[in-house]
Amino acid sequence: MNMTSEKKVNLVKIAAITLVILLLIYLITHHKTSNTQALPTPVVIVKKPESMEMAEYITQTGNTVAFNSVNLVARIEGYLDAIKFTDGTFVKKDQELFVIEPQPYYEKLVEAESSVISRKATYEYTKIEAARQKQMYKENATSLKNVEKWAAQAEASKAEVAKAEANAKVAAINYSYTHVLAPFDGRIGRHLIDVGNLVGNGKATELATIEQVDPLYVYFNLNELDLIRIRDAARARGFKPSEINQIPVYVRMQNEAGFPHEGKLDFVNTGLNSSTGTMQFRALLPNKNYPLLPGLFVQVRIPLTKKIPHLTVPDTAIQYDQIGPYLLLVNKDNYVESRRVVLGSLEQGKRAIIKGIDAEDKIIVDGLQNATPGNQVNPKIETNSSTQVSAGK
């Protein structure tokens, strides 16, 4: 084989290798294009923050407690004659609830009152006779001994009157105990003793429990940080420690929208509980028509500021990890970014963002499962009609 033939063979080999390389490049490029076409850029729904006037709040869980709670007991011995209420109903102050064998105590009252009348009559007689003996002594018609005797009898009769009156008062009190009355307007539970049973036999027999539920207490605990925030907010608004009952408190049950029940802060404990690091608070709420009952778990909200404009996002758009809350945004090149935020209050499903976003940011509100920081997405923009403001980063 001559040199010309070898050159031709080498050229053929080079051409073949080049052709193979070009073919591979084509196949790889075609494969990538096919994959790109098979996996389109994921779609996400984005929304700019809305401006909304909101106050800053502290929200905590609490429980409702009756304003007054009394265990009704039998204070005298006797058979239970009657029950004058329906279990679980609302009763009025001084309404008769139980009757405990009144007749024997009525007879004792009549006897005691009769004794008072008798003792008073005796006292009047001895008093008159003592005065007469004194006058007779001046006329030398009786002895000093008689004067002293009748004076002593008058004093003794006077003491007997006082004793009889005291016995009559005790008898009247015991008779009043035969009719158990409601101490206040409230809701009474079930009766614990049936008619015909002996009660008060050597001990106070519990008959029922009655609770005053208008107004109503709500107890809740706040941690040290929230306590400091409330204190600073109260000082900023000019509240003095003695004006604690001017701080508003809002309450809602688990099935209620918003916080429809308004009351005032009523009591703050003297110090933090060393085991929990919290302090107990109490609010007092009007409870007309009894929408709230004792023993309910409720949410309590205390406003720290007046309403001011805040940037808000749907609460469902907020993501959380071990560091804290963050939002996923789409930048100008349609790539996903993660942004740390400071959260504010929540109202009507909107969460105030105190720090971390601007009014023009595009927040991912739907399709979060398709959004990974650093990846490109296809954003579909949902616009707002509300006025927009900026929150500092």
Going from N- to C-terminal start, the domains of the chain cover 43-54+309-382, 58-65+214-303, 69-210
C-alpha closest to that of 358 among 322, 324, 335, 332: 332
Q: Do domains 43-54+309-382 and 58-65+214-303 have the same CATH topology?
A: no
With 0-12 / 13-18 / 19 or more C-beta atoms within 10 angstroms meaning exposed / middle / buried, residue 154 is buried
Beta-bridged to residue 211, according to DSSP, are: 69, 187
Residue-wise pLDDT tens digits, 36-90: 455 688 899 999 999 999 888 889 999 999 999 999 999 999 999 999 999 999 9
Q: 69-210 adopts what CATH topology?
A: OB fold (Dihydrolipoamide Acetyltransferase, E2P) (2.40.50)
**Cα distance between residue 136 and residue 147, in whole Å:** 9
Top-level class of domain 43-54+309-382:
mainly beta
User: Cα angle vertex 122, ends 121, 128, to 5°?
Assistant: 90
Q: How confident is the model at residue 157 (pLDDT cuts 50, 70, 90)?
A: very high
Distance from first CA to last CA of the chain, Å, rounded?
A: 79
Superfamily of chain region 58-65+214-303: Efflux pump adaptor protein, beta barrel domain (2.40.30.170)
- pLDDT score, position 218: 97
Residue-wise pLDDT tens digits, 222-266: 998 888 888 888 888 777 777 778 889 999 999 988 899 999 999
* pLDDT at residue 346 tops 60: yes
**Cα distance between residue 283 and residue 264, in whole Å:** 6
Give Cα separations from 227 to 230, 231, 273, 293, 370 (angstroms): 5, 6, 13, 27, 41
pTM, rounded to two decimals: 0.69
